[in-house]
Amino acid sequence: MEQTVATFYQFAHLPDCLDWQKKLRTRCKKFNVLGTIILAEEGINATISSSVDGIEAIMDFIKEDPRFSNLTYRLSITPRQTFYRIRVAVRDEIVTLGDSSINPNEQVGKYVEPENWNDIITDPEITVIDTRNDYEIEIGSFKNAVDPDTQTFGQWDEYVEKKLSDHKEKKIAMFCTGGIRCEKASSHLIKKGFKEVYHLKGGILNYLEKIEPENSLWDGECFVFDHRVSVVHGLKDGNAKICFGCRWPLQEKDLESEKYEPGVCCPHCADKLDPVRRASLEERNRQIQIARNKKRDHLGQDVALMTTKKIARKNRQKTKTGLAR
């Protein structure tokens, strides 16, 4: 069944986030809207899917509040069921940097529209940094962008201290999936004393939506945290798959490997799975196939994807010590 997917975020003063949680959960259930919505006193961050009418109902409700009247969102169409439930959570931050003193509502870097982004990233005087996690960068990034080799956004401050502390007088440009991490990272750098900081407005998704492939400097696919796994130009579904053994996004070369077993393991983890973990994955995959044959959704797929970042980080750390499972 065709689904409309909306991704959006906005930093705003939201001390009543607990009230918003109740209202959004009720409204999403009423209009059969699924996905993940994160609320905090600093704002909102979400990816949701539904019919066009369902998405419009939620967006209209959110934008009724003056704090979100200028909220923008990305829409894409997919034939896949991107989520199987609605989750509305209240957190300390809508994207976890781990430093509550950073407030994008007070100061951020200079926004760069997608149409001007190519000029920024081809400027030899500007250092361009991908603020996403390593497993996201694995399947695509902008050409010549710096990979900070971080497994979570919470490691950003450590990266800055080790690698950028002597770059405060230099120009820095950053990007991420939808704009939220690079916007918060820009606020962080400004507080650290960086003089000239830029970030891609609306992130990679905005760029892929607005820039034609022939004019693009994007290389690969863009990882997304739902069942699509990745998107390409025009926000069309990409070809990447997720390994259920280690949560690593897989490209064509991985899928062609003799170590790839659908629903079980991939070249990144096949030699690290212990027998118990392998048996569990094989049984889980068998149950998913049974559900598919009966044309029912298996909720285990959604539970797994909801925890992609956490599981990926944990398993990669274990892989380095030979203990992946």
pLDDT tens profile 164-211 = 999 999 999 999 999 999 999 999 999 999 999 999 999 999 999 999
CATH number at residue 198: 3.40.250.10
**Residue 297 located in a structural domain:** yes
Give backbone dihedrals phi and psi of 324, rounded to 5 degrees, phi first.
Answer: -60, 145
The CA distance from 200 to 207, in Å, is 8
Q: Which of 186, 220, 254 is the last residue of a domain?
A: 220
Quote the pTM value.
0.86
As for how many domains the chain has, the answer is 3
**Residue 61 located in a structural domain:** yes
Q: Are strands 34-40 and 43-50 parallel, antiparallel or unpaired?
A: antiparallel
Query: Which amino acid is located at 260 in the chain?
Result: Y
**Residue 237 located in a structural domain:** no
Dig out the tokens for 98 from the structure.
Answer: 């781990």
Q: Are 322 and 269 in contact (CB under 8 A)?
A: no
pLDDT tens profile 56-111 = 999 999 999 999 999 999 999 999 889 999 999 999 999 999 998 999 999 999 99
Residue with tokens 């994807």: 305
pLDDT at 314 over 70: no
The CA distance from 84 to 130, in Å, is 30
**Domain limits for position 85:** 3-90
Q: What percent of the chain has pLDDT over 70?
A: 90
Q: Which of 174, 205, 220 is the last residue of a domain?
A: 220
The CA distance from 57 to 23, in Å, is 13
Residues 6+ apart with CB under 8 A from 153: 95, 96, 97, 131, 133, 181
Is 117 found in the same domain as 31? no
pLDDT at 115 over 50: yes
**Residue 96 located in a structural domain:** no
Is 79 found in the same domain as 123? no
Dig out the tokens for 101 from the structure.
Answer: 């003193």
pLDDT tens profile 229-260 = 999 999 999 999 999 899 899 999 999 999 99
Q: Are 186 and 212 in contact (CB under 8 A)?
A: no
For residue 265, indicate whether it is catalytic: no
Is 252 found in the same domain as 182? no
Is 86 found in the same domain as 114? no
Residues 6+ apart with CB under 8 A from 296: none
Is 172 found in the same domain as 130? yes
**Residue 267 located in a structural domain:** yes
Is 303 found in the same domain as 264? yes
Angle at Cα 290 formed by Cα 285 and Cα 296, nearest 5°? 110
CATH number at residue 29: 3.30.70.100
**Residue 266 located in a structural domain:** yes
Is 196 found in the same domain as 125? yes
**Residue 29 located in a structural domain:** yes
**Residue 79 located in a structural domain:** yes
Catalytic option among 28, 176, 182, 265: 176
The mean pLDDT value for 125-137 works out to: 97
Give backbone dihedrals phi and psi of 193, rounded to 5 degrees, phi first.
Answer: 105, 10
